[in-house]
Structure 1
Amino acid sequence: MPTSERNSANVPANLPKDPWSRSDSTQPVVMAIPAQRNANLDAIRGLAVLGIFFMNIYFMGITFFGYAPHETPPMSDHIIKVFSNFFIEARFISLFSILFGVGLFIQYQRFSAKGLEAYPLLRSRLKWLMVFGLLHGIIIWPGDILLTYGISGFLALCYKDLSIEALKRKANIFILSALVIITLISLTGSDEPFTRESSLFAEQYSAWTSGYADQLFLHLMQVGYMALVIPFTIMWFTAGLMLLGMALYQQGTFERGFSKPQLLKLVLASVTVSLLDTGLDFTNNPILVTFSDVLIMLSAIPMALIYIHIMVKICQNNPNRLTPLQNVGKLAFSLYILQSIVGVLVFRHFAPELLLSLDRWGYMAMALVYSVMQLLLASLYLRYFKQGPLEKLWRHLTFKKYAAPQEHKQA
């Protein structure tokens, strides 16, 4: 999950007016020292943690393959599939990655301003995130993203001091290189159909709804596979998005959003690539569907940036706007893990038969209901506590080695 951060509401006068301008971006802008929570970032993070469950819910049961469509899907499946391709699929993972990069940059500022050793602290934070990711993936749900964030964070930190334009160039290189490699790997995959009526689905259903010991073995296999491929694939894509987040933060995007011309470009890019990947997806040609899966990762980036713009314009860094979303954002780590616990319990233990009967609209309805529950839970929890349980534990583990007790308290 994105690291927690604080930020001053004051935007330095020397920020370039155009968020994508090249004229005044040869060096990173010197941002004000973070002083208070950035309400915009909390709201964006809240949207992301709610949105990610709309995608992950399909994988809470049969984690490796996800949703199994019928050989002849109902019309509602097609409609929701198209909607997801434009607004949900990969959008919120990309949003989290961008926010994580922002968090790394802000935390480096905060630690340095307090006279702390920023790099050792951030390395400790990332190492513990990887530990959480491994535990989450092996014990609870192997669709974990925390391990990827930890590994990618180490890579992104190496380029933190680049100029804004250099950060963007490096981000583009990482993202495009990753997509090429992912495409090549995906083309070697199996063409065996995975539908509700297939023998493969029956095998997977039996395996993933069996006893916990059998599930644990599947978890170990999937996490082991991911640990092998992450350094060659998704690490570069995620690190590229983190670098993009660092660049956009320094340009003031999380304070002002985008200009109208740039917003229009983002909309056109998102719509164009989403139309293309949706068209390829409906061809049922295995090779074209593979290209569709890669294009959807690319189309997610402009849509994630559009979500950032919308949240910034609505929230306007005001803690009294979008407060329920901000509350979710403050508990993002804890709620993300809770999503996995609830999802796995429901689809593998309490009601595995749902995997046999639910269509896409049923999954979306469940995700919507659970989103409301998370909004209520976060607001209730923060009435009595200032920090989520996992956020607090993560902070404690990060600081226990490198900071004195009084420094831990101040941070």
Structure 2
Amino acid sequence: MTTATDRFVTLDTVRGVAVMGILLLNIIAFAMPAPAYYNPAAYGGSSGADLAIWLFNFVLFDGKMRGLFSFLFGASTLLVIDGASAKGENAAIIHYSRMIWLLVFGLVHLWLIWWGDILNNYAIIGMIAFLFRDARPRTMVLVGTVLLIVQAMIVTMLPLMLQAAQGQPADPSMHEMVEGLTHGFGKPSDAWLAEQVTLHRGSWLDIATDRFSEARFGPITGLFQYGWETLAYMLFGMAAFRTGLLTGAWERRRYVRWAAIGFAVSLPIYGLLAAWMIASDFALVTVVTAVMPATTFLRPFAILAWACLIILLMRPGGPLTTRVAAAGRMAFSNYLGTSLICTTLFYGYGLGWYGDLSRATVYLVVLAIWALMLLWSKPWLERFAYGPLEWLWRSLARGKIQPMRRTAQQ
């Protein structure tokens, strides 16, 4: 059996691992041109240690940490709703106020700081997820599965359109589509890559102007492109919260069984997909197929396995678990703080490291930021009730300044 305090520690610990794990993939998007995120042959090195790092991340972490974060968002949504209802507050007003302000934070992050923001999508999808707050876990899983089928149908169109474009090379619309996918998944020209490096080593105004021109409609297009998957993950997380998976209420052998099933289903196929991409020399159609439709139904198994493994390994009261849980309690501050640190390190208005580090070397930055998260989160929460941005978000959502310093009861 677990206590209420243990349940919060479990959620916070899984969230802490997720927010740290997201940086394993996002660091490439901070440090290099966009296609390097999916395609190591595009930039940053695709042999030796660089290839090994890509392989390790693709098989174990790519999409899984983001998905785990989405699971936790769904679980936290129910936690807030349940807490508001228990206090006699209007749960709908509390929830939608939080989502509206999260959308504001997300848009500021997207347009003014970094193009890879996920908060705006979470805010919009979170408004929809509220409608399922009273659904049975079985219904949540069923609806989530249907949403993944829709997502799979959408992303399957990408490689099909690429193949069709190969038969119509003179069609301007097809050429534009291929060029767009190349800039996201393929191996763009040296000239285009050089332009990206020059841009991101420039001024904040130049970078922000370009980012806004590219991403001004990002929240809308993102909703239709991958919102189905995001909502599915939130619903899975809500079901995992209601059934006790994410609160540590399951028996240990049940966690062991589902961790084993999840990894047994996902890891071998991820390994085969990685081998296929390497054998093709990271050809565009292969990469798009492997990282989009081929993994749609694999990721939930891997995410479930990671959640179970983290809960099995955590030790409530242990020094590492305590620090990771603190980082999870401050996930909002740590997520946005990471963007501020990384853009300062890599962009031209900071140190200007953009495009300088290899894929393997850039992970020294990850280790340093992880250390910062673990070092500052716990001492902060020993003095204050919330992380700085969590406090700001809560104050804005509730329309009044919230008490910041810890009380004896906290």
- Work out whether the TM-score is over 0.5: yes
1:240 counterpart (222, 232, 237): 232
Does the CA-based 8 Å contact 2:333-2:390 persist in structure 1?
yes
The structure-2 alpha-carbon separation of the partners of 1:274 and 1:209, relative to structure 1 and needing over 3 Å to count, comes to same
Does the CA-based 8 Å contact 1:71-1:197 persist in structure 2?
no
**1:35-184, aligned counterparts within 5 Å?**
38-62=8-32, 64-66=34-36, 69=41, 73-184=46-157
Does the CA-based 8 Å contact 1:167-1:243 persist in structure 2?
yes
Give the whole-Å Cα distance in 2 for the aligned partners of 1:301 and 1:320: 30
| Residue 293 (structure 1) aligns with | 291
Give the whole-Å Cα distance in 1 for the aligned partners of 2:2 and 2:318: 11
SS in 2 for 1:355: coil
2:269 counterpart (270, 273, 278): 273
> What letter is aligned with 1:219?
R
Give the whole-Å Cα distance in 2 for the aligned partners of 1:66 and 1:114: 48
> What letter is aligned with 1:290?
V
Listed as ranges, the gaps of 5+ residues in structure 1 are: 1-7, 11-33
Question: What is the identity percentage for the equivalent residue pairs of Structure 1 and Structure 2?
Answer: 24
Q: CA deviation at 1:344?
A: 0.5
**1:331-342, aligned counterparts within 5 Å?**
331-342=330-341
Give the whole-Å Cα distance in 2 for the aligned partners of 1:36 and 1:123: 28
- Cα deviation 1:135-155 (Å, max 9, x = unaligned): 111111121010010011112
| Residue 173 (structure 2) aligns with | none
Mean CA deviation greater in 61-70 or 172-181: 61-70
Mean CA deviation greater in 264-273 or 311-320: 311-320
Give the whole-Å Cα distance in 2 for the aligned partners of 1:366 and 1:108: 37
Mean CA deviation greater in 291-300 or 87-96: 291-300
Give the whole-Å Cα distance in 1 for the aligned partners of 2:25 and 2:207: 21
1:262 lines up with 2:258 in the alignment: yes
Give the whole-Å Cα distance in 2 for the aligned partners of 1:404 and 1:60: 33
Give the whole-Å Cα distance in 1 for the aligned partners of 2:45 and 2:14: 37
| Residue 365 (structure 1) aligns with | 364
| Residue 328 (structure 1) aligns with | 327
| Residue 167 (structure 2) aligns with | none
Q: CA deviation at 1:208?
A: 2.1
Q: CA deviation at 1:212?
A: 1.4
Give the whole-Å Cα distance in 1 for the aligned partners of 2:103 and 2:128: 13
- Cα deviation 1:239-297 (Å, max 9, x = unaligned): 10000011111111121264444332211112133123313322223212111111345
Give the whole-Å Cα distance in 2 for the aligned partners of 1:119 and 1:243: 17
Mean CA deviation greater in 34-43 or 91-100: 34-43
Could you tell me the TM-score, scaled by structure 1's length?
0.83
- Cα deviation 1:3-45 (Å, max 9, x = unaligned): xxxxx945xxxxxxxxxxxxxxxxxxxxxxx788610011111
- Cα deviation 1:350-370 (Å, max 9, x = unaligned): 333x43432111112221122
Q: CA deviation at 1:336?
A: 0.7
Q: CA deviation at 1:133?
A: 0.1
The structure-2 alpha-carbon separation of the partners of 1:131 and 1:122, relative to structure 1 and needing over 3 Å to count, comes to same
Could you tell me the TM-score, scaled by structure 2's length?
0.83
Alignment: residue pair count: 376
Does the CA-based 8 Å contact 1:101-1:242 persist in structure 2?
yes
Mean CA deviation greater in 229-238 or 36-45: 36-45
Give the whole-Å Cα distance in 2 for the aligned partners of 1:72 and 1:307: 28
Q: CA deviation at 1:317?
A: 5.4
Give the whole-Å Cα distance in 2 for the aligned partners of 1:36 and 1:305: 20
Listed as ranges, the gaps of 5+ residues in structure 2 are: 163-176
2:209 counterpart (217, 227, 232): 217
